[in-house]
């Protein structure tokens, strides 16, 4: 299934993409794509629906029908840094002996095609296409062998980052990761049964039509089962939590000389089988 949320910002309704690429309204079935809906029994209930019997939503998704973040009421958005060896190299940093973990504030999450704002005072706003994992069944101290049973599905994340805030403003990376609009998520949550191998997905990002990133999740240092088990040592994972798994090389900071986003530019990005995002960049 491809689950989504449609409508104006802050007023999104739950939906599902039918076999014709049209949006069907799930409002009479569930209140949101969130929480217990993402548990195995919640997803099984949705799989049992006859999509053609659900109300058809007017408009073409991502054209004249806005999509919001594909998961609602996200409790935690946990990000993994330097998880591709070649990206670590372009950043001038060693591959970490354990995953680098940081937060993206949930107020940063936005729709896949919403405007991305360059923060006031920013000179180094950057892009990062990533595979995001959405937790279904929660838990603590999850074994690596059981970890994939805790995945509801996958989606595209643009981990937009302000490098000066991140690296030069003292403290943790979080200052440069959680600005408003820095977390386009979606267009849809593709349930895990439709993604047989999350470790063999191409992912890419373009700025104004120029291919900047072109990688594959096969080169991740720490794979999804390990990350889930690792993170669950330090926090309980809960339904709807998002784990963004890192980015391949080609970020602006890694270019020589570095290049960063400017107002008026457009980003387009995708992870294989999970849809595309398109964002206009504006000055806050």
Would you write out the chain's pLDDT as a tens digit for each of its 284 residues? 999 999 999 999 999 999 999 999 999 999 999 999 999 999 999 999 999 999 999 999 999 999 999 999 999 999 999 899 878 787 787 888 999 999 999 999 999 999 999 999 999 999 999 999 999 999 999 999 999 999 999 999 999 999 999 988 887 888 999 999 999 999 999 999 999 999 999 999 999 999 999 999 999 999 999 999 999 999 999 999 999 999 999 999 999 999 999 999 999 999 999 999 999 999 99
Establish how many alpha carbons lie within 13 A of residue 95's alpha carbon, considering only the half-sphere containing its beta carbon: 9
Residue range 71-283 forms a domain whose CATH class is alpha beta
Residue 36 has a pLDDT of: 97
DSSP 38: G
Q: Is 130 exposed, middle or buried (0-12, 13-18, 19+ CB in 10 A)?
A: buried
Residues 6+ apart with CB under 8 A from 199: 217, 218, 220, 223, 224
Tell me the whole-structure pTM to 2 decimals. Answer: 0.96
Residue 41 has a pLDDT of: 98
Q: Is 225 helix (H, G, I), strand (E, B) or coil?
A: helix
């Amino acid at each position: 299934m491809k689950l989504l949320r449609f409508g104006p910002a802050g007023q999104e309704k739950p939906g599902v993409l039918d076999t014709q690429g049209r949006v069907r309204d799930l409002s009479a079935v569930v209140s949101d794509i969130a929480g217990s809906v993402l548990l195995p029994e919640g997803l099984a209930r949705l799989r049992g629906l006859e999509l053609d019997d659900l109300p058809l939503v007017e408009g073409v998704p991502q054209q004249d029908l806005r999509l919001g973040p594909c998961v609602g009421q996200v409790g935690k958005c946990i990000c993994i840094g330097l998880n591709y060896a070649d990206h670590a190299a372009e950043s001038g940093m060693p591959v970490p002996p354990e995953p680098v973990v940081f937060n993206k504030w949930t107020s940063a999450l936005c729709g896949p095609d919403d405007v991305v704002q360059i923060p006031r005072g920013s000179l180094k706003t950057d892009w990062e296409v990533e595979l995001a994992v959405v937790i279904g069944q929660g838990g603590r101290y999850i074994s690596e062998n059981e970890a994939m049973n805790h995945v509801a599905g996958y989606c595209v994340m643009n981990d937009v980052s302000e490098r000066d805030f991140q690296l030069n403003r003292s403290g943790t990376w979080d200052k440069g990761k959680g600005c408003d609009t820095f977390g386009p998520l979606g267009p849809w949550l593709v349930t895990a049964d439709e993604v047989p191998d999350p470790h063999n997905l191409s992912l890419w990002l373009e700025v104004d039509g120029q291919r900047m990133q072109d990688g594959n999740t096969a080169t991740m240092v720490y794979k999804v089962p390990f990350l889930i088990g690792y993170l669950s040592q330090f926090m309980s994972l809960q339904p709807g939590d998002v784990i963004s798994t890192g980015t391949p090389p080609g970020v602006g900071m890694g270019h020589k000389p570095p290049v960063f986003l400017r107002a008026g530019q457009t980003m387009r990005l995708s992870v294989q089988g999970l849809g595309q995002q398109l964002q206009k960049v504006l000055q806050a």
